[in-house]
Amino acid sequence: MRPATTAILSALAEEQQGLIGLLREPQRVARAGREFWLGELHGTPVVLALSRMGKVAAATTATTLIEAFGAQRLVFTGVAGGIGPGVQVGDVVVAREFMQHDMDASPLFPRYQIPLYDRERFACDIVLGDALLAACHTGLRSLDLQAAVHHGLIASGDRFVSAAEEARLLHAALSDAGHPPLAVEMEGAAVAQVCHDYGVPFAAVRTISDRADDTAHVDFPKFVTEVASRYALAIIDEFVRSLNNSKA
């Protein structure tokens, strides 16, 4: 039986570049104004895509991966701002769940609830998430890195959080509502919702590029080019290898 097609979604071009280099028989396909790369990685059929920035763009990319390329599971890499206590630049966060910190249809629906879904959070797939956690530990060790690996809630919103006070207020508001987040980014919750709609297993990992504070705009680009792409490549290489070993 042909193994399932795994979609590897990258938030950053720098992350995707290394992956394209690892593909066997890479083939570029244009669709929905985007580029997709088909090929094989460690014997697993994969399709690579850049999410683009923001929830809508990422949802379009995820939908295209599933509808047009038949992705049967999806893994997402990128960077995030650390806002949880003890979540530092250079750490890695594997998502257990996602929520949208900018969803507010109150008073029609409770704050943060996704209208007509009756929930605030979308959970990641447990089996894929565990495989991704293991790949983080093994992959980062292969780079000789001692990065802390966290596992928990990530909050997404169409906003680059770049002020310490804003990050503090956001963390306090979400915690008061019962959703203390480890990190913020701009796409994951949208992709989690699309995967929920299609019943496609989903997992995500984010490297912490900044603390969503007043220096976030400086820390972010520096980190992306120098560190995040190496992290993502090591983690995904290990993750896909492990899928193949488990014959998933």
In the list 132, 184, 200, 243, the residue contacting ligand ADE (rule: CB under 6 A) is: 184
Q: Which range of residues in 23-31, 124-132, 139-147, 180-188 is near ligand ADE by CB under 6 A?
A: 180-188
Identity of the residue, 39 or 84, whose beta carbon is nearer to ligand ADE in the bound complex: 84
Shortest separation between residue 31's beta carbon and ligand ADE, angstroms: 26
187 binds ligand ADE (CB under 6 A): no
Shortest separation between residue 90's beta carbon and ligand ADE, angstroms: 13
Distance in angstroms (rounded) separating the CA atoms of residues 98 and 2:
31
Identity of the residue, 16 or 209, whose beta carbon is nearer to ligand ADE in the bound complex: 209
190 binds ligand ADE (CB under 6 A): no
- The tokens describing 196, both together, are 């929920």
Of 238, 187, 185, 192, whose CA–CA distance to 209 is shortest? 185
Distance in angstroms (rounded) separating the CA atoms of residues 170 and 181:
9
Cα-based distances in Å from 133 to 93, 127, 159, 200, 219: 9, 10, 27, 19, 25
Distance in angstroms (rounded) separating the CA atoms of residues 93 and 87:
8
Catalytic residue among 97, 120, 125, 210: 210
Enumerate the β-bridge partners of residue 153: 97
DSSP 43-80: TEEEEEEE--SSHHHHHHHHHHHHHTT--SEEEEEEEE
Window 203-222: contact mask with ligand ADE (x via CB under 6 A): ------xx-x---x---x--
Decide if 226 is catalytic: no
List, by residue number, the catalytic residues: 15, 210
Residues that bind ligand ADE (CB under 6 A): 79-81, 160-162, 184-186, 209-210, 212, 216, 220
